Amino acid sequence: MLSQRPLVVRIDRAALTHNLGVARRATLAAHPQARVLAVIKANAYGHGILRAAEALRNADGFAVLSLDEALALRHAGYSHPIVLLEGFFSGDELEAMAHAHLRPVIHREDQITLLARAALPHRLDVWLKIDTGMHRLGIPASRARAALAALQACASVASVTLMTHFAGADEPAIGVAAQQQVFSECTQGLALPVSLANSAALLRYPAVVGDWVRPGIMLYGASPFAGQTGSDLGLAAAMTLESRLIAVRRVARGEGLGYGHAFMAPQDMNIGIVACGYADGYPRHAPTGTPILVEGRETRTLGRVSMDMLCVDLTPCPNAHVGSPVTLWGGALPAERVAAAAGTIAYELFTALSARVPVEET
Ligand SMILES: *Cc1c(COP(=O)(O)O)cnc(C)c1O
């Protein structure tokens, strides 16, 4: 007998495919030759890497983090270009990367030294990451030309694609102009393919798409912008986290609820206990008032989220009972709203979802 705990995450594969279409159309409108590299790192933002790859197989390539993820895609039969966003962590990985025709991002000069020394079964297509102002990964713009020359001199390098990543494509106060300026100055005159845009840049600054766009969050149906949901952008939410009430209680005015009595009932009220807690990936820091649906009606969480349960206000749903359906996020309740209430972003909700939550695909 399988567990009957009612918590389940539903992944809508048609939504993933639809969102890729949105990304594709935005890309084509900006640059008819540009290709779409579907970012499916972090287990496809919690949606399941192989499930997502299948739904997104019309992408021109995939981007992942680790060799393991890339090899899983190759084993499943995907022959797409696969970019490794952090390249190789150790020179020991290079041979396997060459064998599998993977495309590592080169972001440090010592990686070029390792490449120069490597004797590989095939030459590699590599991506050179230039730091144009995010100051996370990348070769400083002032040294990018020298790094490129060193890469092009490596016998093990077949081609180079130039990339950078924006720190504030989703924040109008920062934008992309300053970084774009640095990028175009240091790559001026080079006839090499370039890749600049994440979801936010693709949607807000289509002029910067370059030759490869790298949409991530939008493929899963969530918005990269604060104060806007995926559906505002024509996207369909691919993930719905659903559960049920496992208890319904009446608490009296002045009684405290859950750990720390973080919520005190201001009057007699009906409350429900939902089978979902922080061990499932629901954010523990979601405060009283975080939106949640019971029987499709919006209400709010109450008190502290426990490991396996959380508490909801049943005042707006007087007919709710043990077994009533609950939507934690997805469907009529955008994950972006839950994330905002909990002081985080949909990216974190999706990727933090625990492996113990059973998946149902539609
Ligand atoms: C994760 C990532 C992306 C995708 O970003 P979204 O905001 O999810 O679209 C693109 N490029 C790089 C380098 C990344 O690490």
Distance, CA 60 to ligand 1 centroid (Å)?
A: 16
Q: Give CA 247 to chain center in angstroms.
A: 33
Residue 278 binned pLDDT confidence (cut-offs 50, 70, 90): very high
Q: What residue owns the CA closest to ligand 1's atom 10? A: 198
Residue 1 Cα to chain centre, angstroms: 34
CB 332 within 8 A of CB 284: no
The number of helices, as runs of H, and strands, as runs of E, in the chain is 11, 19
DSSP state letters, 309-359: -EEEE-TT-TT--TT-EEEEEBTTB-HHHHHHHTTS-HHHHHHH--TTS-E
And the tokens for 86?
A: 């952090």
Measure 133 CA to ligand 1 centroid, in angstroms.
16
Beta bridge partners, 159, equal: 125
Separation of 38 CA from ligand 1 center, angstroms? 9
Q: Whose alpha carbon is nearest atom 15 of ligand 1?
A: 85
State the pLDDT at residue 234.
97
Q: What pLDDT, on the 0 to 100 scale, is given for residue 314?
A: 98
214 in contact with ligand 1, CB cutoff 6 A: yes
Can you tell me the distance from the alpha carbon of 93 to that of 115, in angstroms, rounded to the nearest whole number? 11
Q: Is the CB of 293 under 6 A from ligand 1?
A: no
- DSSP designation for 286: P
Instruction: List, for residues 227-257, the tens digit of each pLDDT value.
Output: 899 999 999 999 999 999 999 999 999 999 9
Q: Hey, which bits of the chain come out as E strands?
A: 8-11, 35-39, 61-64, 82-84, 102-106, 124-131, 139-140, 157-163, 194-195, 212-213, 239-251, 256-257, 263-264, 269-274, 291-294, 297-302, 310-313, 325-329, 359-361
Q: Which residue has the tokens 């905002």?
A: 340
Distance CA 144, CA 152 (A): 12
Q: What is the DSSP letter of 190?
A: -
Q: Where in the sequence of the chain do the CATH 2.40.37.10 domains occur?
A: 239-361
Please tell me the predicted confidence (pLDDT) of residue 148. Answer: 97
Question: Do 167 and 133 meet the contact criterion of CB atoms below 8 Å apart?
Answer: yes
Q: Which residues on neighbouring strands pair with residue 298, listed in sequence order?
A: 293
- CA 19 to chain CA centroid, nearest Å: 13
Q: Which CATH class, in words, describes the domain spanning 239-361?
A: mainly beta
CATH 3.20.20.10 intervals, the chain: 13-223
Ligand 1 atom with the smallest distance to the CA of 202 is 9
Q: Using the structure block, give the residue that is written with the tokens 């909700």.
A: 349
217 Cα–ligand 1 center, Å = 8
- 0.75 cut: is pTM over it? yes
Q: What percent of the chain has pLDDT over 70?
A: 100
Report how far apart the first and last C-alpha atoms of the chain are (Å, whole number): 23
Tokens of 63: 């981007």
* H-assigned helices in 188-287: 199-204
Q: Ligand 1 in contact with 199 (CB < 6 A)?
A: yes
pLDDT per position as a tens digit, 179-202: 999 999 999 999 999 999 999 999
pLDDT for 2 equals 76
Distance of alpha carbon 83 from alpha carbon 154, whole angstroms = 19
Buried b (16+ CB within 10 A) or exposed e, 124-161: bbbbbbbbbbeeebbbebeebeebbebbeebebbeebb
From the alpha carbon of 217, which atom of ligand 1 is closest? Answer: 8
pLDDT > 90? residue 209: no
- Predicted confidence (pLDDT) at residue 3 exceeds the cutoff of 90: no
How far is it, in rounded angstroms, from Cα 168 to Cα 176? 7
Greatest distance between any 2 Cα atoms in the chain: 76
**In DSSP terms, which residues pair with 145 in a beta bridge?**
none
Indicate whether residue 165 lines ligand 1 (CB < 6 A).
Answer: yes
Assigned CATH for 13-223: 3.20.20.10
Cβ of 215 below 6 Å from ligand 1: yes
Give me ligand 1 centre to Cα 163, in Å.
Answer: 12
- Tokens representing 31 are 């640059």
pLDDT per residue over 284-332, tens digit each? 999 999 999 999 999 999 999 999 999 999 999 999 999 999 999 999 9
What's the mean pLDDT in 86-94?
A: 93
Tell me, using a 6 A CB cutoff, whether residue 24 lines ligand 1.
no
Distance CA 149, CA 11 (A): 45
Instruction: Give mean pLDDT, residues 274-291.
Output: 98
- Is pLDDT above 80 for 1? no
From 198, 205, 350, mutation site for ligand 1 pocket: most ligand atoms within 8 A of C-beta: 198
- Residue 177 pLDDT greater than 80, yes or no: yes
21-29 mean pLDDT? 95
Q: Are strands 297-302 and 310-313 parallel, antiparallel or unpaired?
A: antiparallel
pLDDT digits (tens, 9 = 90+) for 210-234: 999 999 999 999 999 998 999 999 9
Q: Nearest 10 degrees: CA dihedral of 354, 7, 222, 84?
A: 30
* CB of 105 sitting under 6 A from ligand 1: no
